[in-house]
Structure 1
Amino acid sequence: MQIIPIRHPYNSEQIPEDDVVMVLGFFDGVHRGHQKVIETGKKIAIEKGLKLAVMTFNQHPSIVFQKVLPENMKYLNSLEQKERLMANLGVDILYVIEFTSAFAHLAPQEFVDQYIVGLHAAVAVSGFDYTYGPKEIADVAHLPGYANDRFEVVTVSKEELAGVKISSTRIRDLMEQGRMEEVTELLGYVYETDGTVVHGDARGRLLGFPTANIKVKSTVRLPRVGVYAVKIQVGEKWHVGMGSIGHNDTFGEGRELTVEVYILDFHQDIYGEQVTVSWNHYLRDQIKFDGAENLIVQLKQDEQDTADYFLKKTR
């Protein structure tokens, strides 16, 4: 997959000359609703013998429109994760547009002329709720008028589960409740976060449960605080573990939020490794224990519950 970063105004020499099927959206999560839109574009691209292109943004539009600080945005996918998911869906070209003030202030017709026609779209594919400016003048219903017969417009209806629209908002709400199996169902894959293994306070090692302390970016959306049955990828191999998101209140109030994974049957030092954690199943909430002994008893139970969960999954 070819990844083309674009900063407005772009140089036309950056743009491949061939016509494409262009899929439009922000695609946070690349969930099953997004996948339906991209797969529709892929099908059309195959039928027409064209490449499949997707246009997304490097950051959420609210950073410009609502003045949200970039470090305070919480995404379901990092850009790197989004790129991996797009490649797996068969996307040929991924345009990553820098969402700046200059880009944001394009009039709808200017956006269409420069970023759909200008990027050689023979067909523009989007979800039913896609907008490219003020909703009342820049929704999918207005797109054929702006197209002026220069490209075909295809609108994909909403994807539902249990009669409710699949959306990034719905997924975020479920994550806040720890309902990770439902998150998996809506995404079409197990929710993952990337990070780097860093040194912690080594307290887990003293308890007999040495953990990998994982530093994640501030923009990563984590599931709710609690203990989880997880898998962690180290190098090319996935391992079973129990993951913790919390403040370790047993050892003092007001501690920094940490992400830790105790990897079952694993005895390697992995400091500095880039890892991926998949959040498969919520086990329990964080508990403040009276002391280390009670914590160890609970950790042993968590370890057994984690092993049982994945054993049941393989049956």
Structure 2
Amino acid sequence: MVIINGDINDIQKIPGLKKSIVVVGNFDGIHTHHEKLLRKAQELAIKNDLQLVLVSFDRSWRTLFNQEDDRILKKEEKIEIMDGFFAIDYYIELEVNENLKSYQPKQFMEWMKKTLKCQMVAEGSDFTFGTNSKGTVKELKEFFGDDNVYVMRRKNLTTSSTKIRKLIADGKVDKANKLLYSPFKIYFATEGKRSREIIYPNIKIKEGYYQAKLNDKVNAVLRIDNKAAILISKTGEIEEPVIYAILEKKISKPTK
């Protein structure tokens, strides 16, 4: 997988890129709907002898409006999953900035066609793009042709990044994990042993006790208190620095 990142205005020619099918999205959390869409795009790429190009973004759009970055998944982990589990030829990470925000739907589609050599598109039925999210799958079909745009219908929003954030905020992390491609992780500052500052993600996590796994190796019980994770107990030792923990499920307060 070739990884390219930068300002959209600086990404105007991609060496080696041939005719492609393009998927655009935040892909935050990489949940079951994302997986189905990407698997379908892979199938269409093979069937039509196209390269698969995924276009994503370097941060949440909320940051342009001075709001907190509410991503669930670190971008490094997202890239690792995309590279390891999906047959993506090019991963384009666009900087979320005023230049990208200014692109009208037609301008963005022209960029897709010229720069990405886009012949086909695969998106969810709720996909929007361009300035003020004015572009929809309707505009994609009008521009690229109805037969060249695959739309995955979403009957409801039971699986979405917004829904997953709500589950985590409500303490239902076990239900969130069933929807996520990779289990929910919290990342720590390196300082401290028993109590660690949670530096990522910057979303609401219900306070309380959690069954967890440190560095995906050692079982533990953590107490989440605001932006801190306090180690209550663990079943073994871990040699390397603890940089993250998988939250498996919320539990009752452990008895001594």
When normalised by structure 1's length, the TM-score is 0.72
Residues 185-244 of structure 1, C-alpha deviations (whole Å, 9 max, x = no match): 2224421233343225xxxxxxxxxx3x444435533521111001121xxx61111122
Using the TM superposition, give the Cα deviation of residue 16 of structure 1 relative to its aligned residue in structure 2, in angstroms.
3.6
Cα pair 2:59 2:71 within 8 Å, conserved:
no
Q: Give me the whole-angstrom Cα distance separating, in 1, the residues matched to 2:223 and 2:16.
A: 46
Q: Give me the whole-angstrom Cα distance separating, in 2, the residues matched to 1:36 and 1:2.
A: 22
One of 209, 212, 222 as aligned partner of 1:230 = 212
Greater C-alpha radius of gyration: 1
Using the TM superposition, give the Cα deviation of residue 282 of structure 1 relative to its aligned residue in structure 2, in angstroms.
0.1
User: Which stretches in structure 2 are left out of the alignment for 5+ residues?
Assistant: none
- The one-letter amino acid paired with 1:232 is L
- The one-letter amino acid paired with 1:227 is Y
User: Which stretches in structure 1 are left out of the alignment for 5+ residues?
Assistant: 201-210, 248-256, 285-297, 302-315
Identity %: 18
Using the TM superposition, give the Cα deviation of residue 268 of structure 1 relative to its aligned residue in structure 2, in angstroms.
5.0
- Is 1:97 the counterpart of 2:76? The answer is no
Q: Give me the whole-angstrom Cα distance separating, in 2, the residues matched to 1:282 and 1:53.
A: 38
When normalised by structure 2's length, the TM-score is 0.87
Residues 105-161 of structure 1, C-alpha deviations (whole Å, 9 max, x = no match): 111111001134421222111111111136785110121222268x9211111276x
- The one-letter amino acid paired with 2:206 is R
One of 243, 249, 255 as aligned partner of 1:275 = 243
Q: Give me the whole-angstrom Cα distance separating, in 2, the residues matched to 1:167 and 1:155.
A: 16
- The one-letter amino acid paired with 1:260 is I
2:81 maps to which residue?
85
Cα pair 2:55 2:94 within 8 Å, conserved:
yes
Alpha carbons of structure 1 residues 196 and 266: separation in structure 2 relative to 1, 3 Å: farther
2:59 maps to which residue?
59
Cα pair 1:228 1:283 within 8 Å, conserved:
yes
SS at match of 2:9: coil
Comparing both chains, which one has the higher relative contact order based on Cα–Cα distances under 8 Å and sequence gaps of 6 or more? 2
- Tell me the number of residue pairs that the alignment of Structure 1 and Structure 2 aligns: 255
Q: Give me the whole-angstrom Cα distance separating, in 2, the residues matched to 1:15 and 1:195.
A: 38
One of 167, 172, 187 as aligned partner of 1:174 = 167
1:109 maps to which residue?
106
Please list every run of at least 4 consecutive aligned residues from structure 1 whose deviation after the TM superposition is greater than 6 angstroms. none
1:142 maps to which residue?
139
Q: Give me the whole-angstrom Cα distance separating, in 1, the residues matched to 2:174 and 2:141.
A: 39
One of 181, 203, 211 as aligned partner of 1:221 = 203
Using the TM superposition, give the Cα deviation of residue 15 of structure 1 relative to its aligned residue in structure 2, in angstroms.
4.8
